[in-house]
């Protein structure tokens, strides 16, 4: 009886001590996936729970989920490819676990929300957005088939209906077909893929122009971002001046030249001015090394589009398709050809750009005034952030290559106008040789 009473006393003391530690932000058990305890065999107050390699991958997963870039199934595939073993159920639990945003929730303290001592993987604001009912989740339909990447992307020219696909088991061959009754649009997947690759190859950058295009892209980028960089330098100078003023009043306050009221008044004023300047500091420029990497990767892709599509997995094929042909492609069963109504403005200009580059190389005159008119489609609206360099950066650090650098800045010129300037630069630089 006394031993039972003693055990209950010990239990109560232990629970009380654990509750006190939890309320102070100390986690008392093994940390979840993505964290490691470097001082596991020390006291809880000395534990050092830090983000491990899996945690770095989960940070990307939270970012993808926040931006709704990929479905959970695709995120799992990418994490597995990076060496992290996880399934969809586990990933869903991780997205719901507040530990990852620095919050401790425990059954021992029901209804209490505690700020943890560990470093969060995702911010509280982003965690709430991810778990908001208003945040849609991309769904991956089981109808997707690696053998039919153009399914729902290619449409029948006759009735404007997206094509589906099927397998002829007897032949072990896949086909695309129109779902409209009586249409009769049916095409071998192998043949349609070959036509699509041929169509893609017509929008590739000729490898013999890569070096000069790279040089001009850097020149164009520097020209377009000149005003932004000058503004950045000016703002940094003003910030430096404000910091100097704050240091001066702090020194005067320390030696008694001004009283506390004046010190607080001017320090608050200077700090407010500094915060306003920092909020207006728009740094969208890229270091020369990062710009070189971005352009190299973009040109490598742009000169190898059809091969990248043919060798890519299903998600990559779909991204390339949508990138080059935003509105899909049509299949004309009478002509037996694929046709396009809309092409990304950068890609649509590549064949004409290559043609004009060839003219410049051979010494023939190029009518630049007509260039923009030739390649600008009817009702073309100038894009605010679409030109050769921006597009290159988007390709290099966007969905295809999965790097982490991305730069956005507003431009008043359309991509076509900038490509025209691009050609004019080439002509003025060297009218006879490239």
CA neighbor of 387 nearest in space, from 219, 203, 201: 219
- Sequence-distant (≥ 6) Cβ neighbours of residue 216 within 8 angstroms: 422, 425, 426
362 in any annotated domain:
yes
| Residue-wise pLDDT tens digits, 102-154 | 999 888 888 888 999 999 999 999 999 998 855 555 555 555 788 999 999 99
Same domain, 358 and 412: yes
Domain that holds residue 396: 203-211+291-429
Same domain, 276 and 296: no
| Residue-wise pLDDT tens digits, 388-429 | 333 333 333 332 323 222 332 233 333 444 444 444 444 454
Q: pTM above the 0.85 mark? A: no
- Sequence-distant (≥ 6) Cβ neighbours of residue 403 within 8 angstroms: 297, 396, 397
Same domain, 85 and 68: yes
Rounded Cα distance, 213 and 218, in Å: 9
| Residue-wise pLDDT tens digits, 247-285 | 999 999 888 889 999 999 999 999 989 888 877 665 445
Q: What is the pLDDT of residue 217?
A: 67
Same domain, 303 and 352: yes
Same domain, 424 and 327: yes
- Sequence-distant (≥ 6) Cβ neighbours of residue 178 within 8 angstroms: 156, 158, 159, 161, 163, 184, 185, 186
Q: How many domains does the chain have?
A: 3
């Amino acid at each position: 009886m006394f031993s039972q009473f003693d055990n209950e006393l010990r239990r109560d003391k232990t629970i009380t001590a654990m509750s006190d530690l939890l309320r102070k932000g100390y986690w008392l058990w093994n940390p979840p996936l993505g964290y490691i305890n470097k001082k596991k065999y020390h006291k809880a107050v000395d534990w050092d729970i830090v983000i491990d390699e899996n945690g770095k991958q989960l940070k990307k997963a939270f970012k993808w989920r926040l931006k709704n870039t990929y479905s959970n199934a695709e995120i799992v595939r990418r994490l597995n490819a990076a060496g992290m073993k996880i399934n969809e159920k586990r990933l869903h639990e991780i997205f719901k676990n507040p530990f990852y945003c620095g919050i401790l929730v425990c059954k021992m303290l029901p209804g209490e929300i505690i700020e943890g001592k560990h470093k969060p993987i995702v911010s509280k604001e982003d965690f709430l957005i991810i778990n908001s009912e208003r945040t849609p989740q991309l769904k991956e339909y089981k109808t997707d088939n690696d053998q039919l990447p153009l399914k729902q992307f290619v449409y029948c020219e006759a009735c404007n209906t997206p094509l589906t696909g099927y397998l002829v088991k007897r032949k072990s061959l896949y086909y695309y077909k129109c779902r409209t009754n009586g249409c009769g649009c049916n095409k071998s997947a192998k043949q349609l893929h070959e036509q699509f690759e041929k169509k893609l190859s017509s929008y590739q950058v000729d490898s013999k122009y890569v070096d000069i295009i790279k040089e001009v892209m850097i020149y164009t980028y520097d020209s377009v971002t000149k005003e932004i960089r000058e503004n950045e330098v000016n703002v940094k100078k003003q910030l430096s001046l404000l910091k100097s003023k704050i240091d001066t009043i702090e020194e005067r306050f320390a030696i008694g030249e001004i009283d506390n009221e004046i010190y607080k008044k001017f320090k608050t004023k200077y700090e407010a001015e500094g915060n306003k300047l920092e909020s207006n500091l728009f740094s969208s420029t890229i270091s020369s090394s990062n710009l070189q990497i971005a352009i190299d990767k973009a040109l490598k892709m742009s000169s190898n589009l059809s091969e990248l599509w043919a060798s890519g997995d299903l998600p990559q094929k779909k991204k390339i398709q949508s990138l080059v042909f935003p509105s899909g492609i049509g299949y004309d069963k009478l002509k037996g050809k694929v046709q396009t109504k809309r092409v990304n403005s950068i890609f649509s200009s590549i064949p004409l750009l290559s043609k004009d580059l060839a003219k410049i190389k051979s010494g023939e005159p190029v009518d630049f005034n007509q260039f923009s008119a030739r390649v600008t489609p009817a009702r073309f609206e100038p894009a605010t952030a679409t030109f050769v360099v921006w597009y290159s950066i988007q390709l290099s650090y966007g969905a295809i290559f999965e790097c982490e650098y991305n730069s956005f800045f507003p431009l008043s010129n359309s991509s076509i106008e900038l490509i025209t300037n691009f050609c004019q630069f080439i002509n003025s630089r060297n009218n006879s040789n490239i």
